[in-house]
A and B are shown apart, each in its own frame.
Chain A
Amino acid sequence: AQSVTQPDIHITVSEGASLELRCNYSYGATPYLFWYVQSPGQGLQLLLKYFSGDTLVQGIKGFEAEFKRSQSSFNLRKPSVHWSDAAEYFCAVGAGHSTLTFGKGTMLLVSP
């Protein structure tokens, strides 16, 4: 069965510092991989996705993620965090939207 692990429930980062959110998955083949962001009281918004090809994918708001098949990981990165990035981040894996498995989320706190 497929699964997604986001090891960090909460992460606090200083504004301007770099960010890496971890995502590890278990899947029988190369999956579709997604990162979504959720601001308080809102639905989820897609940051980026990986289907195939270049393993480093660029997304919105200056985020990027790297697919590492050997490590079954799809970590999200941003070189310089802004206060507006404070939100909850979800990694998801699957073969299509109807089979997506979401991680439990990582709450990002940004300190001044």
Chain B
Amino acid sequence: NAGVTQTPKFRILKIGQSMTLQCTQDMNHNYMYWYRQDPGMGLKLIYYSVGAGITDKGEVPNGYNVSRSTTEDFPLRLELAAPSQTSVYFCASSQDRDASPLHFGNGTRLTVT
């Protein structure tokens, strides 16, 4: 089973550039999430979605946008990259809002210089 797949694995951006981090899952989960992980800081929720067409902000949404046109895909968009967005980004999905485990992708390491 593929589970949650994230692309790319690594990316270097210049300040002001834009990019989309891709996330797709094959488990038919309604709930999907984007986190960022900074060293020594744990994970912070950026955006989440409870189903196709529905998204909501998490704890740290500024500088990011998301869309959810299908159940499978949940891309994260950075419009004007800033050094503060240098981080490791994880996409996750779950079958329900609380009882089932979060299934994580392997992450995208992004550097903005």
A interface with B by C-beta (< 8 Å): 4, 9, 32, 36, 41-46, 49, 51, 90, 95-98, 100-105
Contact = CB atoms under 8 A, between A and B. Distances in A.
Contacts of A104: 40-42
A46 B105 contact: no
Contacts of B94: 97
A104 to B, nearest CB: 5
Interface of B: 4, 31, 33, 40-45, 48, 50, 56, 58, 90, 92, 94, 97-99, 101-107
A97 B42 contact: no
A30 B103 CA distance: 24
A96 B33 CA distance: 12
B106 A98 contact: no
B51 to A, nearest CB: 13
Given A90-B43, A102-B43, A104-B40, A43 B98 contact: no
